[in-house]
Amino acid sequence: MFQKMLIDGKLVGKDSKKKRIKVINPSTEKTFAFVPKGTKKHINQAVAAAKKAFPAWAATSQKKRQDIVNKMADVVADNAEMLARLMVKEQGKPMPEAMGEMAWTEGYLRHYATLSAKGRMIQNDDDFKIETRRVPLGVVAGICPWNFPVLVPFWKIGPALVAGNTIVVKPAPSTPVTILKILELCNKFVPAGVINAVTDENDLGPLLTDHPDVAKVSFTGSSETGKKIMAAAAGTVKRVTLELGGNDPAIVMPDVDVKATAAQIYGGAFLNAGQVCLAIKRLYVHEKIYDEMCDELVKLAKGAIVGDGLQQGSTIGPIANAEQFKKVKALLKRAKKDGKVLTGGVVKSKKGYFIKPVIVRDVKDGDDIVDKEQFGPILPVIKFKDIAKVGKAANASDYGLGASVWGKDVKKATRVAEKLQSGSVWVNQALNIGPHIPMAGCKASGLGVEQSTEGLEEYTQIQVLNIAR
């Protein structure tokens, strides 16, 4: 399979050995598709096409822009199973999760199609009419990760288009196929140049962030890369929205129903094999229920069916790519020295980047497995005694994306939650996100807002219209 790029309404790229990128199936470690190896020329062409298309798109009625986004949702819905199968082959997640990502993508797009960025009247009297307007920025660059290769690009495409911008999307090199296929199908009704997509080997990002005709960069990925994007964007004072890494703490109070809470925590930690920015990545459990919670988590982990995402019944797929597999294995090796691995580990009996869900106990703050974002199916469980101190430990991280507190006494749990330094804090739940809920990281976890009306406004410039009577 060879999936081309999209530039100015045309499918672009030659299928030659020197000009293509291999896309590896992480369940088999075999090549299942190819995409073009984009160049500086392709980036310049894509930005030029988006710049050319911008005036007409910005002048298009809000209703028509919303209709186009709704049609994109139709494409995802009408082709969900075919697209989900492609995603499993390039990213690895089990088919039910891939189908879930398609449903989420459709839902997000439909919600974006109901939004509009509105100004407000400040003064309207005999002397002045002063109002704010929300106007589009121009060309947006959307740089996307590999863990949610369809949902996250449309988190950028949807609001960018509704607000009146045009966009150049750069998918992750290991997971470009599904999003390119969707954009190919959408190309029948999206005006040329409004959406463009260029594939690379992680070498073209600086060309987008430096480009003088790019007005905004929306990036989802590591904090290290986010810092580089901020620095690069400074030269042209670009707008940036950064959704970066997380090391999300979950604090479990001693009054919980251990079995029920363990099941929810397991789901919040091991979705997509733990490859979720907002996943629970360090679990603080009160000493009174520590052993019982570890035992329940071990039962759940041992019940996981690890395998190819296309195999019936698989609940945990592989790590999405070889580079991340290597990182997770290194952290797991260190965790075995710092704590006690109760269950799980690397699957050595077959091809693929498989790791059985790992539960590690008797670790502490300062250990790599606690302090670093593992981004894989490993959950460190830390014992605590003092509720005041555990809040400080949770806040000691450089990250601040998500956090959760679990307790039967909701008021008490909420008081703990309110003191956590995190963009999203859940009480007795995890990963409850939606297109109507703002999502924002603090500290090293990001800058700006995604989702909701607040996220839409990030794709606009506020303009004050001040008229003397």
Establish whether 277 is a catalytic residue: yes
User: Per DSSP, what are the bridge partners of residue 25?
Assistant: 30
Q: Are 324 and 373 contacting, i.e. CB atoms less than 8 angstroms apart? A: no
User: For 138, what's the count of Cα atoms within 13 Å in the CB-facing half-sphere?
Assistant: 14
- In this structure, what DSSP letter does residue 208 have? H
Q: Are 66 and 287 contacting, i.e. CB atoms less than 8 angstroms apart? A: no
* Separation between Cα atoms, residue 13 and residue 3, nearest integer Å: 8
For residues 405-427, one letter each, b for 16 or more C-beta atoms within 10 angstroms of the residue's C-beta and e for the rest, the string is: bbbeeeeebeebbeebbbbbbbb
* Separation between Cα atoms, residue 331 and residue 333, nearest integer Å: 5
Q: Are 163 and 460 contacting, i.e. CB atoms less than 8 angstroms apart? A: yes
Q: Which of 243, 450, 457, 458 is catalytic?
A: 243
Q: Are 403 and 394 contacting, i.e. CB atoms less than 8 angstroms apart? A: yes
**How many of the other CB atoms lie within 10 Å of CB of 437?**
13
Lateral strand order in the sheet of 121-124: 121-124, 128-136, 460-468
CA 143 to chain centre: 11
What helix, strand, coil percent values describe the chain, rounded to 5?
A: 40, 25, 35
Q: Largest Cα–Cα distance in the chain?
A: 80
Establish whether 144 is a catalytic residue: no
DSSP 118-185: ---EEEESSSEEEEEEEEE-SEEEEE--SSSTTHHHHHHHHHHHHTT-EEEEE--TTS-HHHHHHHHH
**How many of the other CB atoms lie within 10 Å of CB of 143?**
26
Angle at 180 between CA 174 and CA 181, to 5 degrees: 115
Q: Are 190 and 68 contacting, i.e. CB atoms less than 8 angstroms apart? A: yes
Q: Which of 144, 186, 277, 294 is catalytic?
A: 277
Q: Are 80 and 98 contacting, i.e. CB atoms less than 8 angstroms apart? A: no
Q: Name the residues annotated as catalytic.
A: 243, 277
